[in-house]
Chains A and B, each alone.
Chain A
Amino acid sequence: MQPSNVFATLTHTSFLAWGRPSAYIPANARKFIGTLSCVRGSVLGMSCHQRKPLSEPPRPHPERTGKFSRLYYPLVLLLSPALLFLLAQQQPRSAQASPQQGEPSVSGPAPVQPPADAGLQPSKPGAPTGALTQVPIGYLKQEVKRLIPLSRLHVEPEDYGIAGAEMALKDNNTTGRFTKQEFTLDVERVPIGSDAVPALQKLRESGHHFILVDAPAETLLRLSDSVKGKDVLLFNVRAEDEELRQEECRANVLHTAPDRYMLADALAQYLVWKKWQRWLVVKGVFPEDLAYLDAIRRAAKRFGGTIVEEREYKETPGARRSDTGEEQIQQQMPTFTQGAPDYDVVIVADEKEVFGPYLPYRTWDPRPVAGTTGLVAMSWHPAHEQWGATQMQNRFERFAKRFMWPVDYQAWIAVRAIGEGATRVRSGEVGPVSDYIRGKDFDLAAFKGQKVTFRKWDGQLREPILVTGPDLPVSISPQAGFLHQNTEVDTLGVDEPESKCKFK
């Protein structure tokens, strides 16, 4: 396979192989294993690490030179310029991420860059000193142990989220050429089980005031509290937990990840519009499943759904593979869904993918499946093409050599919001930029057919949500007819009067 074919293969397999709603999976950070090997990633047509333009000379991958490069040399051609990149890391900051080069700087496992000291630094030799404002952005990724997904198509890419931030950085720097602002990105990966707080300190001490956090809710809260009252703005790009926007909301956090209420509301509005109002709910046993279930119950009440029965799937995950698996499942799933009161649609609450993906085509009654499997609400899907989204998909696929999924999009929005704020207030200072982003003048074009903004009462991104099948988006919510006195998109999630958020 020649390098140029890698992407062709990717596009070929894409909508078949990647076509399942794995997007919801990454969105909830539930179906992937953290210790994903590069080899598997390559099998799925996903890149494992940094990528650079094809035109750059091939270099061995920094981490996996030996067997990997022999077996997957073509892929290495694509990925390996990471070494070049590592070399670049040794050089002054300005050499690695200048907007002229258009390539973002991401350290991956490499150490964080030294501070962008004076904040003003020329991007290339000969440029007038002091002409450029530097805006360093951090990306803190807490690695998490995840179950092996039921479908091997749902394995989380190694650079999931990070690639979205990188692309936004490129976008910011293209604009920055004209506004004399230079944005840089440094990634801190915190290994499974390690404390994330020192990593945040490290980023802050090295001059990063804008930091994307890709971590579970409890980690995010600890990070937020550790920099309380300091000049740091955090962006939650991953955690969908409601508490983070409610009782546990924090003044120094903005959420570009949608919460479960928004997702459940988006799905419920569509089902009600479709007049599929009687729901058979099947739920798993994990706290995340119960949180999703709570969101579905709330949405049913709000929009006129009826839960005819709730059924629990008690099995906890065992081995994911066995030679006779399919046969057994074919017997199990119909039995599991047998004898339900009359219903229109099965709603699955199974965030960790223990049984949900087994349900479509196997229910006792011929009924569609929605929820965490089947018809799924999510912030982004790689087949979304409306409102100029094709441009974004093309740019991302060229850049990351894989498809764009929700956390990529959520990280993209966070970095673009920082860029937009810095451009508009003509400053890289966290105070004015943060005020602008939260203020009434801020809006962002994010390929959703209307501006996206942040809700002032809880810091949540206000955005339309895709309701999508495996291969194509089916609709986008809010649905017509669900009215709101200010803006219809606020029918998704927690509205101002019902918000319990008091910023700490």
Chain B
Amino acid sequence: MLRTHILFLAIAVVSGAALAGKVAAYTVYVSNEKGNSITVIDSATLKVKQTIPVGQRPRGIMLTRDGKELLICASDDDTVQILDLATNEIVGNLPSGPDPEQLNIHPSGSPVYIANEDDALMTAIDLKERKVVAEVSVGVEPEGVGVSPDGKVLIATSETSNMAHFIDTDTYEITDNVLVGSRPRFAEFTADGSQLWVSSEVAGTVSVIDPKTRQIIKTIGFEIPGIQPETIQPVGIRILKDGSKAFVALGPANHVAVIDAKRLEVERYLLVGQRDWQLAFTPDEKLLFVTNGNSNDVSIIDVPTLKVVKSMPVGSAPWGVAISQQ
């Protein structure tokens, strides 16, 4: 009896410590492309709190800079929906143009930048007014949207032109175009703004670009024993704030690559679910959430130990992920 009590106590202490040590409670939002919903997860308990029905084919999602709203690319509804996180109600739409897939937001909170794949346009929308303030003609099928930390440079990657377009956020002029590998999908700056990382899905590479010179510093390739090279298709990229490590989702290769971001070399590959697509850190950078589009779940990576600690089911075909500060 006593032994059982001690055991229970031990378990309680250990798990309590684990929970306390692991995370503050953040809220994780996952868009389910086929489920037409957003799954809300508590990052401390790793339990689904709620599933919110939204527009059709929700893909790219992002929290507004004030953390009060979630912007959702409802691709098949040709709009970007605004989800009020206090009420979990859709409170409005942004005039995104057809088939929005990914978006980004200026560090000041507005405008919102949306890639319109169908029109070869990058659209800037004032978030308050919900009005288009500029449209920039870019290459064929723009997709990835990056914004430099200082807010001066906007990046659009065009999937068929295979370019990262550098756009001045004041003048909306294209200042340069950098050729990268085939089908560039995602653009991410390092926190200090010294590097731009672009993933090329079909080429199977990540290009690291110096935004000052617009030269490619290095093209990182991937090789996983036993995995056919064609299935290695990098999409989502996240880089730790201190610039030490980067994580790249490799799509149908079902792995996340961990990259030493100083040496620009792959350190290891972590096995996750099927067709991992996008990634997001918790604000304390302790956990990394990975959406697995073909296995309908998210994998959760413990960042300090580089271990996949859990996978949990969400809706159908999870695509985007965003994590709030609260």
Contact = CB atoms under 8 A, between A and B. Distances in A.
B161 A178 contact: yes
B202 A445 contact: yes
Nearest to B141: A391
B228 A488 contact: yes
A451 B252 CA distance: 13
Given A391-B141, A488-B228, A423 B118 contact: no
Interface residues of B, number: 31
Nearest to B120: A174
B231 interface: yes
B174 interface: yes
A489 interface: yes
A484 to B, nearest CB: 9
A443 interface: yes
A394 B118 contact: yes
B182 interface: yes
B173 to A, nearest CB: 13
Given A394-B118, A443-B202, A178 B183 contact: no
Contact of A175 (B163, B203, B229): B163
A487 B229 contact: yes
B299 interface: no
B140 interface: yes
B160 A450 contact: no
Contacts of A427: none
B120 to A, nearest CB: 6
A388 interface: yes
Contacts of A443: 181-182, 202-203
Nearest to B165: A178
Interface in B225-246: 228-231, 233
Q: Which of B163, B202, B203, B252 has the most CB of A within 10 A?
A: B202
Nearest to A448: B202
B90 to A, nearest CB: 24
B182 A175 contact: no
Contact of B140 (A171, A450, A451, A488): A171
B16 to A, nearest CB: 45
A16 B231 CA distance: 34
A103 interface: no
A246 interface: no
Nearest to B161: A175
Interface in B193-246: 201-204, 228-231, 233
Given A178-B139, A178-B161, A391-B117, A423 B231 contact: no
Interface in A174-230: 174-175, 177-179
A174 B182 contact: no
Interface string A414-441: 0010001001100000000000000000
B76 to A, nearest CB: 9
- Is chain B's interface secondary structure helix, strand, loop, or mixed overall? loop
Nearest to A175: B161
A487 B118 contact: no
A451 B161 contact: no
B182 A444 contact: yes
B295 interface: no
Contacts of B161: 171, 174-175, 178
A391 B139 contact: no
B266 interface: no
B162 interface: yes
B229 A445 contact: no
Contacts of A424: 179
Contact of B160 (A171, A178, A451): A171
Contacts of A177: 137
Q: Which of B117, B159, B160, B163 has the most CB of A within 10 A?
A: B160
A391 B160 CA distance: 11
Contact of B182 (A171, A445, A449): A445
Interface string B134-161: 0001011100000000000000001111
B110 interface: no
Interface string B231-275: 101000000000000000000100000000000000000000000
A383 to B, nearest CB: 16
A12 interface: no
A395 interface: yes
A451 B182 contact: yes
A392 to B, nearest CB: 9
Interface string A299-329: 0000000000000000000000000000000
A151 B224 CA distance: 49
Given A171-B140, A391-B118, A487-B229, A178 B252 contact: no
Contacts of A416: 160
B137 to A, nearest CB: 8
B177 interface: yes
B179 A445 contact: no
Contacts of B160: 171, 174-175, 416, 445
A423 to B, nearest CB: 7
Contacts of B233: 450
A394 B159 CA distance: 15
A395 B177 CA distance: 23
Contacts of B231: 450
A142 to B, nearest CB: 30
Contacts of B163: 175, 178
Contact of A487 (B165, B174, B182, B228): B228
Contacts of A489: 230
A174 B140 contact: yes
Given A395-B118, A423-B179, A487-B229, A174 B159 contact: no
Contacts of B177: 178-179
Contacts of B201: 445
Contacts of B117: 388, 391
Interface string A60-95: 000000000000000000000000000000000000
A445 B140 CA distance: 12
A320 B269 CA distance: 61
Nearest to A462: B230
A443 B180 CA distance: 12
Contacts of B140: 171, 174-175
Interface string A372-394: 00000000000000001011001
9 contacts: A174-B160, A178-B177, A388-B159, A394-B99, A420-B162, A443-B203, A444-B202, A445-B159, A445-B183
- Sorted nearest first, the 3 A-B pairs with minimum C-beta distance are A445-B183, A175-B161, A450-B230
Given A420-B162, A445-B183, 15 more contacts: A171-B160, A174-B161, A175-B162, A175-B163, A177-B137, A178-B161, A178-B177, A394-B99, A394-B118, A420-B182, A445-B159, A449-B252, A451-B182, A451-B202, A451-B204
